Amino acid sequence: ETGVTQTPRHLVMGMTNKKSLKCEQHLGHNAMYWYKQSAKKPLELMFVYNFKEQTENNSVPSRFSPECPNSSHLFLHLHTLQPEDSALYLCASSQGDLPGETQYFGPGTRLLVL
């Protein structure tokens, strides 16, 4: 239990569906992240929010839309996804302003796009 929770844990959706992934951290951190993890590929950073402001968008397609209403919650809204978007989506959080800070990961949402 890392203090970062994600729902749902598993999601199957069609290409025309709209769904949202939710992440919540109970660590009092100020930075939150979305990563994508595909088989045999490294973890890919998608978005970074620091103090609720988006500070990084790693050339992610617009069919992925993040939302950070406060420092404890992070959403990833999904719309018109493609089968190649099937992957494990990991949320993480960190303190946000320390040189040696560690990122704490949630358990992930396993997404399958049909």
Residues contributing to the site for other proteins (CB under 8 A): 2, 4, 31, 33, 40-43, 45, 48, 50, 55-56, 90, 94, 96-108
Picking from 56, 48, 38, 35, the residue whose alpha carbon sits closest to that of residue 105 is: 35
**Strand-strand pairing, 10-13 and 109-113:** parallel
Nearest residue (CB) to other proteins, 109 versus 113: 109
* Nearest distance from C-beta of residue 110 to other proteins, angstroms: 8
User: Residue written as tokens 């992957």?
Assistant: 87
* DSSP H helices in the chain: none
Nearest residue (CB) to other proteins, 78 versus 109: 109
- Give the start-end residues of each E strand in the chain: 4-7, 10-13, 18-25, 31-37, 44-50, 53-57, 64-70, 73-79, 87-94, 104-105, 109-113
* Nearest distance from C-beta of residue 111 to other proteins, angstroms: 14
Beta-bridge partner residues of 49: 32, 54
Nearest residue (CB) to other proteins, 13 versus 43: 43
* Nearest distance from C-beta of residue 105 to other proteins, angstroms: 4
Nearest residue (CB) to other proteins, 32 versus 81: 32
* Nearest distance from C-beta of residue 16 to other proteins, angstroms: 28
